[in-house]
Amino acid sequence: MSQYATSGGFGEFDVPTREELRRASSRWWLFLIVGIVSVVIGAILVLDLVVAVETLALFVAFGLIFTGVEELLGSSRYGHRTMAIIGGIALIVAGIVALSWPSITLWALAVVTALGLIVAGAVRITAALMEREDGWGWLFIGGLVTLVIGIMAIAWPDVTVLALALLLGIRLIIFGAVEIASAMQLKSLAS
């Protein structure tokens, strides 16, 4: 059993008790909503790139904000909840900056997005390495993917809007699908 099993948290690298999962199962629908919204925004970015170019700053901003909210909602799943909160806040701030600066240039958009992804990825990697409990590898891989995408975006700030939309869209779809699967598992516990 994890040293955090009695802390009320559960998740990717925490080993919760059955009772903790039952208590958390009452919130299954929150994870479902966040997951569906993430998948829908990700799909729009991936499938309709021509239309997305005109409003990409808005899509990226909302994508970052929803991903940040997803991190905050899931923060109880981390043994080190503070790390999830920092990552979530970084993504929300990056999204608000992109949203409040509609005339943002492609270079600035790439940098804002990259910084949010780099911080969120580094936080996940750090949390995974600090915890080293069952499932920590998945958290590490998710952080590594996020960090690599952020580094790619900052290394090539003149990357096309289409490539940036595609990378963020893929990330939103993957994390949204994980949240939907988690919600379904929690729902089954609630019944």
Helix (H) or strand (E) holding 158: none
**Exposure letters 147-165 (e unless 16+ CB within 10 A, then b):** bebbebbbeeeebebeebb
Beta strands per DSSP E along 127-175: none
Confirm if 41 and 66 have CB atoms less than 8 A apart. Answer: yes
pLDDT in tens, 44-96: 878 886 666 656 777 778 888 998 998 888 777 666 788 888 889 999 998 88
Q: What average pLDDT is seen over the chain?
A: 78
Compare 15 and 8 and report the one with higher pLDDT. 15
Q: What is the C-alpha separation between 67 and 63, in angstroms, rounded? A: 6
Confirm if 26 and 190 have CB atoms less than 8 A apart. Answer: yes
Confidence at 105, pLDDT banded by 50, 70, 90? low
Per-residue confidence (pLDDT) for residue 9, from 0 to 100: 44
The tokens for 149 are 């995408």
pLDDT in tens, 124-147: 899 889 877 767 888 889 899 999
Whole-Å CA distances, 28 to 93, 167, 183, 188 = 26, 27, 5, 9
3-state DSSP assignment of residue 135: coil
Q: Is the pLDDT of residue 2 over 60?
A: no
Q: How many CB atoms lie within 10 A of CB 26?
A: 12
